[in-house]
Amino acid sequence: MLGTVFAVIMASSYRAMYQDVLRYQRTLTALENTRSELARTERAAGQATERERLAREIHDTLAQGLSSIVLMSRAARSSLSEDDVRRTDERLGTIETAASENLAEARRFVHNLSSPALAVPLADALRQLCERTLNRPGLAGRISR
């Protein structure tokens, strides 16, 4: 009788432990699935953030540079219609410089996939931008330092 009671208790204990193991396995599977979903969600959020950053960088650097080239080409065309060869030559030089700088910027941007201007501290980047702007042909005489 004592053996039977002991066997029933042991069987109940093993059954309870087996149920616990099954519950832990289901919990572990759910945890792994949740972790995988979280990783996918974080990866998608990171990609979206990177896309936004790239869009801002393109707008802030390349698009503005290209807009400058368009404006200067219109001014050069105006100078041509006025037969002002010297001014047209200056404006074409400015266009060439701006286009070269934008091409170099685009190459650095694609190469680094980060803002080339942010490779240096902000104050240095602003100083370099001001120096490039002041050194453009036709601007040095009109802007006082």
DSSP codes of every residue in 49-104:
HHHHHHHHHIIIIIIHHHHHHHHHHHHHHHHHHTT-HHHHHHHHHHHHHHHHHHHH
Average pLDDT, rounded, for the chain: 83
**35-90 tens-digit pLDDT:** 999 999 998 998 888 888 888 878 888 888 888 899 999 988 888 888 888 888 88
Distance linking the first and last C-alpha atoms of the chain: 107
Residue 127 has a pLDDT of 82
Residue 114 has a pLDDT of 54
pTM of the model: 0.47
Q: Where are the domains positioned within the chain? A: 28-134
Residue 117 has a pLDDT of 54
**Between residues 100 and 136, the one the model is more confident about:** 100
**104-117 tens-digit pLDDT:** 888 887 776 655 55
**Between residues 27 and 51, the one the model is more confident about:** 27
- Percent pLDDT > 70 in the chain is 88
